[in-house]
């Protein structure tokens, strides 16, 4: 090798080889939510499309749910934890600053040869993490990467806030990214717009709460109208760019799997993208609520298990959230998982 040059070992392409999900045991109805907020079941469903959501129990910690989803994705991909080269975990609700949650999850999965790190990009986190994993595999830095989106949004939301209490929920989803002879994950389209920093934010900082414990502890606050208007323009534009960069048209798609913000927004995005009727549009939000970084892998798993989208077909993923920021790409869907994917108690209890 000549002076000033570095070697590399690119493998070519990447694809999703496995998917897994963990959905908390407790199903919470709109009626139950309305017991704590000034609202009605009809208003919630009309405004958001949400009928039920999952709330995690004490033993369903972020670590436990993430490990459960990751374990199922590994099983689906046909590999063990010891074959992982990296674990990338997207979350905005891990209340422990350090060590990284991904390291704890890698330990649970016996990923003894794996690097592990967290990625924080709110509801866009999963698509950002998927892009990182894809780039690692294509560059030859890793062969198998586990990407997890995991959230306990109930730790971040005031149950008496009528703007957020009905919306957010808990869960974890995961995919395994591995090498492929052909492209299976398209180029990522990503961006951020700090002009909307206050549209979806924490009401105060942990530092302020530390210095004045009489304050309410930090909780999510959202200006839903501003987020909606922004998403209709910026997210649709990003979706079109992702299709163009992957050399795929809307007619080629078999599925559209956006962040599960709410049904109204999903419907508007699908309409603005001019998706044909044959494209399956993920609406996991109806029964799962808005699970932030976990929502896209959870929705993907649901579509595959329910047989609503065929394996091997192209799907447009796009996440968007606080910042406001976004990321998206086109992927080829893996085979549908056959292992149990829901309603099983996690096997770990650490936070």
Query: Which positions are annotated as active-site residues?
Result: 123, 259, 290
- Count Cβ atoms within 10 A of the Cβ of residue 241 and give its class: 0-12 exposed, 13-18 middle, 19 or more buried: middle
- Which DSSP symbol is given to 335? P
What's the CA gap between 209 and 135, in Å, rounded? 39
- Which DSSP symbol is given to 329? E
Count, in order, helices (H) and strands (E) of the chain.
Answer: 10, 14
Within 10 angstroms of residue 172's Cβ, the number of other Cβ atoms is 35
Report CA-CA distances (Å) from 44 to 32, 123, 294. 12, 21, 21
Q: Are 227 and 195 in contact (CB under 8 A)?
A: no
Half-sphere exposure at residue 298, Cβ-oriented, CA atoms within 13 angstroms:
34
Q: Give 274-307 as a DSSP string.
A: T--TTSEE--THHHH-B-GGGHHHHHHHHHHHTT
């Amino acid at each position: 090798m000549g002076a000033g040059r570095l070697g590399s070992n690119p493998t070519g392409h990447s694809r999703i080889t496995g998917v897994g999900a963990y959905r908390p045991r407790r199903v919470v109805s709109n009626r139950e939510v309305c017991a704590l907020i000034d609202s009605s079941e009809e208003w919630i469903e009309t405004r958001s499309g949400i009928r039920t959501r999952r709330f995690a129990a004490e033993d369903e910690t972020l670590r436990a749910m993430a490990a459960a989803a990751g374990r199922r994705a590994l099983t689906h991909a046909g590999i063990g934890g010891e074959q992982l080269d990296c674990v990338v975990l997207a979350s905005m609700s891990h209340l422990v600053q350090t060590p990284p949650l991904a390291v704890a999850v890698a330990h649970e999965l016996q990923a003894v040869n794996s690097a592990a790190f967290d990625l924080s990009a709110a509801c866009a986190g999963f698509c950002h993490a998927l892009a990182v994993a894809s780039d690692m595999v294509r560059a030859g830095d890793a062969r198998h990467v586990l990407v997890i989106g995991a959230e306990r949004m109930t730790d971040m939301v005031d149950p008496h806030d009528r703007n957020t209490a009905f919306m957010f929920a808990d869960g974890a989803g995961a995919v395994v990214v591995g090498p492929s002879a052909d492209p299976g994950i398209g180029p990522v389209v990503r961006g951020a717009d700090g002009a909307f920093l206050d549209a979806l934010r924490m009401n105060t900082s942990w530092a302020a709460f530390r210095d004045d414990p009489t304050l309410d502890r930090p909780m999510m606050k959202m200006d839903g109208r501003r987020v909606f208007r922004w998403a209709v323009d910026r997210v649709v534009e990003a979706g079109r760019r992702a299709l163009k960069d992957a050399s795929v048209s809307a007619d080629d798609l078999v599925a559209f799997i956006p962040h599960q913000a709410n049904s109204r927004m999903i419907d508007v995005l699908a309409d603005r993208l001019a998706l044909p009727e044959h494209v399956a549009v993920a609406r996991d939000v109806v029964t799962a609520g808005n699970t932030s970084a976990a929502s896209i892998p959870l929705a993907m798993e649901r579509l595959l298990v329910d047989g609503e989208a065929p394996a091997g077909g192209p799907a447009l993923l796009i996440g968007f959230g606080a910042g406001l920021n976004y990321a998206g790409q086109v992927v080829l869907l893996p085979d549908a998982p056959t292992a149990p994917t829901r309603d099983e108690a996690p096997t770990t209890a650490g936070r």
